[in-house]
């Protein structure tokens, strides 16, 4: 039996602003097949498409590494800047201050963030720069052939069998301690959890740090590694079940009392948190730090929303920045009049 294509059946699926998923894609990946970073790129495409965000409102920024190459593989119609190794935070801060309407999307690696870029990362945290900061964490410098990074766990081994002897930085613990207002950990292999966390970050108007364990199949996916697919699958301890309810959703679902904890997000969306065996309060920063310490001691990978604070002002509010891009401000607002300039000159003589 032959099927004829009707106009309806060939009609392309579009999101709420009329764009197809193709408008959110980038070039074809050149990363290794099976690299966790590729799955994260796919989630980024899906989330921005599903949430109906204009691609040209997004500024994607990165440093150096396989992870930092990945912005080429998503959001081909967005603004983009591939910076120097570890220096992405200052580029992102400048871009967002210059145009507060942009959605900053930083994609970086554990080497880029926790080794050469640690100083820049700390200042991004203390400033609560409103942007999404994704760490594609594989515990190694993938691009330079798999040396341990500063997030590698003690005792985790290289392919050669050599163990790591230095203690790791936990980027989520640093983010919690130094000022990020949304902190989450996920796994590149957990499609549903990562999607929900990414959508929450898009809705949040403060600094969102998402540490995604993203295995490097070429250099760090063997037995003995604590960042391999099998290790993370076996040791993943999800804190809760998450559901993202977008602000434009019209679906009203009855929630059984006591079952769910709901958090209102800045753009009117909501995050629904369903507890597993114990209640975890993501608004309690100290509890988050304690939970991370406990998980580290047991060799567990704690995933989910560790912390969410929607009341702390972002850098834009602290600076009382004008609405709109600085480049659109009229001359009379940005340039002191001649009388003021001559007064300054007089004071200097
Ligand atoms: C200033 C400087 N120092 C060192 C390097 C070499 N280098 C390139 S990528 C990289 C590490 C990347 O690791 P990571 O950020 O974890 O990304 P991955 O490749 O693992 O995704 C290093 C050390 C460089 N490009 N520039
Ligand atoms: S070397 Fe590792 S991190 Fe780099 S693309 Fe290949 S699998 Fe991914
Ligand atoms: Mg890495």
pLDDT tens digit sequence for 295-340: 999 999 999 999 999 999 999 999 999 999 999 999 888 888 899 9
Q: Which ligand is nearest to the CA of 219?
A: 2
Q: From the CB of 218, is ligand 2 less than 6 Å away?
A: yes
Other residues' Cβ atoms within 10 Å of the Cβ of residue 327: 8
With 0.75 as the threshold, say if the pTM is over it: yes
Q: Is the pLDDT of residue 1 over 50?
A: no
Match 């990414």 to its residue by tokens: 198
Beta bridge partners of 243: 272
Q: What is the position in ligand 1's atom list of the atom closest to the CA of 67?
A: 21
3-state helix, strand, coil in the chain (%, to 5): 35, 20, 45
pLDDT in tens, 144-166: 999 999 999 999 999 999 999 99
Residues with Cβ within 8 Å of residue 100, at least 6 apart in sequence:
130, 316, 321, 323, 324, 325
Distance 117 CA to ligand 2 centre (A): 20
**Among 147, 217, 227, 229, which is best to mutate for testing ligand 2, by the most ligand atoms less than 8 A from CB?**
217
For residue 253, the model assigns a pLDDT of: 60
In sequence order, what E strands does 151-225 have? Answer: 182-187, 207-213
Q: Does residue 5 carry a pLDDT above 80?
A: no
State the distance from the centre of ligand 2 to the C-alpha of 248, rounded, in angstroms.
Answer: 37
Q: Which ligand is nearest to the Cα of residue 218, counting in written order?
A: 2
């Amino acid at each position: 039996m032959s099927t004829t294509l009707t106009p309806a059946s060939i009609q392309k699926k579009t999101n709420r602003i009329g764009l197809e998923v193709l408008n959110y894609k980038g070039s074809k990946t050149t990363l290794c097949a099976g690299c966790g970073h590729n799955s994260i790129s796919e989630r980024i495409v899906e989330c921005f498409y599903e949430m109906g965000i204009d691609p040209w409102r997004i500024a994607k920024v990165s440093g150096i590494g396989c992870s930092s190459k990945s912005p080429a593989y998503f959001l081909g119609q967005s603004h983009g800047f591939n910076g120097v190794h570890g220096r992405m935070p200052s580029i992102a801060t400048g871009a967002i201050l210059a145009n507060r309407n942009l959605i900053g999307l930083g994609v970086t690696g554990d080497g880029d963030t926790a080794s050469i870029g640690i100083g820049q990362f700390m200042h991004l945290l203390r400033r609560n720069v409103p942007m999404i900061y994704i760490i594609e964490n594989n515990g190694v410098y993938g691009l330079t052939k798999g040396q341990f990074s500063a997030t590698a766990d003690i005792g985790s081994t290289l392919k050669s069998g050599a163990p790591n002897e230095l203690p790791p930085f936990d980027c989520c613990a640093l983010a919690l301690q130094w000022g990020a207002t949304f902190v989450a950990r996920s796994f590149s292999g957990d499609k549903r959890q990562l999607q929900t966390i990414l959508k929450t970050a898009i809705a949040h108007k403060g600094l969102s740090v998402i540490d995604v364990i993203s295995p490097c199949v070429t250099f760090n996916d063997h037995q003995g590694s604590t960042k391999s697919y099998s290790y993370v699958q076996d040791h993943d301890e999800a804190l809760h079940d998450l559901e993202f309810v977008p602000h434009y959703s019209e679906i009203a679902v009855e929630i059984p009392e006591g079952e769910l904890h709901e958090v209102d997000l800045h753009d009117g969306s909501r995050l629904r948190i369903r507890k597993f065996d114990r209640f975890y309060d993501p608004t309690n920063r100290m509890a988050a730090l304690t939970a991370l310490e406990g998980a580290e001691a047991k060799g567990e990978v704690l995933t989910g929303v560790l912390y969410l604070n929607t009341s702390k002002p972002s850098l834009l509010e602290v600076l009382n920045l004008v609405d709109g891009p600085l480049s659109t401000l009229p001359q009379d607002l940005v340039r002191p009049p001649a009388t003021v300039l001559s007064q300054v000159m007089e004071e200097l003589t």
